[in-house]
């Protein structure tokens, strides 16, 4: 082999080695780039799955049906939730879905939120009223049985969201009542500008509750009656109207009751001069509730008898109680007597100082 051939072969070998050294890092770098691209696709796919299972607030809102409210140039600065209550009968292991409508009239797009709380009858000065329990578990708990598809959502101004609310009673639930509320909250408007030199304050959160009265059929105790009927405050003499009265109903059963009835007023002659119809009101189990009414008319004078006929809300049973009060509008009576007295004084003066002769 000649020297030229040896040099040529050496150059070929050196060139091949050099090309290998140059190509190797490029191949490794190219492989690294491809792997990074594959990882990015996996992350993007994972993010899409998360969004699909736990939508963002904006996407949550899109899942509720929306309705436009009648156009108005007036901003009411409020929101409306309806209806205010539901009375349902649900068997163990079954569910029922109702519709709650939320109308935004606050003047701008706002974020709303749902919370569920148990409720019970208030005590003390608030006896008979509804008391929400916050994070506490009530004696007739239902908050874990109430569900909505999405609990945070936006509503545009002058729009209404139509929200399905489902109540599911466990299969092992005992017969009786379950009571709670789903609260609609409007969250603070983060776009509001805080004025300078004004101390920051805690944001105000407005909540409107929709009450749920749920009965599970079975061996339940329905027991209640009208226990008292009196004027408020308790007195027998009035100078005039209105006359305020209270109907006290006690529920000693295991489920809520809805008594209703009429209150009639008769005068001293026995004529009916007033009639008040009482729509059903809710009385929680093992509680007492006072239904207040007010009655008035243009002129009251004398003795009046008021009779309350209250249907217990079950079994077509009626309780009846009566009360009596007197009305003496002394200012009016005094004015009339003063006028009559002055009239007779004037008449006497004329008769004593003037002589009337027949022609």
Please check whether residue 169 is in contact with residue 214, taking contact to mean a CB–CB distance below 8 angstroms. yes
Residue among 112, 152, 116 at smallest CA distance from 133: 116
317: alpha, beta or left? (left if phi > 0; alpha if psi -120 to 50): beta
Tell me whether the omega of the peptide bond preceding residue 209 falls within 30 degrees of 0, making it cis: no
Task: Please check whether the domain covering 59-190+205-216 is classified as CATH 2.60.40.10.
Answer: yes
| Token pair for 356 | 């009337």
Q: What is the pLDDT of residue 235?
A: 93
Look at residue 171 in the predicted model and tell me its pLDDT: 96
State residue 3's pLDDT score. 43
pLDDT of residue 24: 42
Give the pLDDT confidence score for residue 71 in this predicted structure: 76
Q: Do 215 and 256 meet the contact criterion of CB atoms below 8 Å apart?
A: yes
pTM over 0.85: no
Calpha distance 104→80 (Å, rounded): 7
| Alpha-carbon gap, residue 90 to 97, rounded angstroms | 11
| Cβ contact 282:250 at 8 Å | no
CATH numeric code, 224-332: 2.60.40.3880
- Tens of pLDDT along the chain (359 residues) come to 444 444 454 454 445 444 444 444 433 333 333 333 333 233 232 323 323 333 444 445 556 888 888 877 777 889 999 999 999 999 999 999 999 999 999 989 999 999 999 999 887 655 667 899 999 999 999 999 999 999 899 999 999 999 999 999 999 999 999 999 999 999 886 555 444 554 555 455 689 999 999 999 999 999 999 999 999 999 999 988 999 999 999 999 999 999 999 999 999 999 999 999 999 999 999 999 999 999 999 889 899 999 999 999 998 999 999 999 999 876 666 677 777 778 888 877 777 777 666 66
pLDDT of residue 181: 96
């Amino acid at each position: 082999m000649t020297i030229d051939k040896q040099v040529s072969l050496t150059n070929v070998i050196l060139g091949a080695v050099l090309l290998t050294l140059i190509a190797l890092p490029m191949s490794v770098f190219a492989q690294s780039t491809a792997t990074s691209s594959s990882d990015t696709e996996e992350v993007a796919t994972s993010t899409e799955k998360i969004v699909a299972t736990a939508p963002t607030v904006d996407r949550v809102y899109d899942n509720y049906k929306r309705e436009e409210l009648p156009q108005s140039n007036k901003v009411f600065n409020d929101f409306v939730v309806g209806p205010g209550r539901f009375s349902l009968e649900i068997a163990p292991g079954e569910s029922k879905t109702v519709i709650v409508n939320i109308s935004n009239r606050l003047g701008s797009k706002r974020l709303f939120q749902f919370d569920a709380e148990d409720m019970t009858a208030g005590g003390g000065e608030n006896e008979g009223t509804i008391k929400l329990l916050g994070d506490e578990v009530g004696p007739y708990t239902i908050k874990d049985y109430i569900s909505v598809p999405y609990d945070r959502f936006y509503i545009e101004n002058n729009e209404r969201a139509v929200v399905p609310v489902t109540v599911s009673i466990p299969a092992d639930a005992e017969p009786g009542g379950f009571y709670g509320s789903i609260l609609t909250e409007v969250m603070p408007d983060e776009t509001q500008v805080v004025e300078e030199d004004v101390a920051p304050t805690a944001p105000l959160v407005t909540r409107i509750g929709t009450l749920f009265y749920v009965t599970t059929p079975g061996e339940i105790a329905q027991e209640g009656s009208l226990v008292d009927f009196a004027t408020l405050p308790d007195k027998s003499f009035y100078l005039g109207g209105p006359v305020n009265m209270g109907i006290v109903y006690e529920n000693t059963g295991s489920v809520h009751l809805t008594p209703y009835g009429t209150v009639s007023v008769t005068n001293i002659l026995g004529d009916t001069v007033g009639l008040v119809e009482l729509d059903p009101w809710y009385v929680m189990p093992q509680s007492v509730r006072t239904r207040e009414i007010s009655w008035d008319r243009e002129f009251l004078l004398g003795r009046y008898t008021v009779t309350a006929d209250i249907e217990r809300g079950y079994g077509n049973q009626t309780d009846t109680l009566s009360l009596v009060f007197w009305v003496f509008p002394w200012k009016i009576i005094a004015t009339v007597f003063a006028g009559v007295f002055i009239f007779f004084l004037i008449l006497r003066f004329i008769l004593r100082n003037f002589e009337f002769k027949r022609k």
